[in-house]
Homo-oligomer: A and B are copies of this chain.
């Protein structure tokens, strides 16, 4: 145990650091390249050489800074998961906002964020599909929703319909257009710019539709 291979040298931090980024630190350049390539192609289709090229660095530097493709991926993935689910988390448990206010906030926040990160949902969802065990969030992220104030409000308004139906409706109507983006473009239904506009329109429309649904 404790053979020499366990102690590969890692990048050390200088106490008197140079102005960190004249043009972004190597570490950050690699991370940013990894974000781009992983999100675009997924873990398996991504070659470490793709990331190195995108970052404009020598391949060995990737392993010098991040040890392995998998470690780098986990870093990026954690960020992306946080980004995707971080949108909804702070909204659903606010007991000061009404049901409709919450819906408006969720729709606005998701569409705004996804307009900047259209590939995010398809990336996160397909990677979780590829490796569900690894995201053993069991009973954590789930309960956050299930036991939320939002669910309580939905139950009060519509006791006969499971509250998850309405949550799924709002999320699906907000997120699905971005998931379908590759098809829209490939099939000539919409260009990327048209989707931006389409999504923008939906910010107010989905809130109206939700009201119609919940009052029907």
Contact = CB atoms under 8 A, between A and B. Distances in A.
Interface string A25-38: 00000000000000
B179 A145 contact: no
A130 interface: yes
A13 interface: no
Contacts of A143: 188
Contacts of A188: 137-143
A165 interface: yes
Given A44-B44, A126-B122, A205 B161 contact: yes
Contact of A119 (B129, B141, B169, B185): B129
Given A146-B189, A202-B165, A211-B216, A128 B172 contact: no
Interface in A87-143: 119, 122, 125-126, 128-130, 132, 135-143
B213 A42 contact: no
A132 B182 contact: yes
A64 interface: no
A9 interface: no
A153 B132 CA distance: 42
8 contacts: A126-B126, A137-B187, A140-B188, A143-B188, A145-B187, A162-B198, A164-B190, A165-B201
A138 B182 CA distance: 12
Interface residues of A, number: 58
A40 B139 CA distance: 24
Contacts of A141: 187-189
Nearest to A208: B216
A62 interface: no
Given A165-B201, A208-B216, 15 more contacts: A41-B130, A42-B126, A128-B182, A128-B183, A128-B186, A132-B186, A140-B187, A145-B189, A162-B201, A165-B205, A168-B177, A176-B176, A209-B213, A212-B213, A212-B216
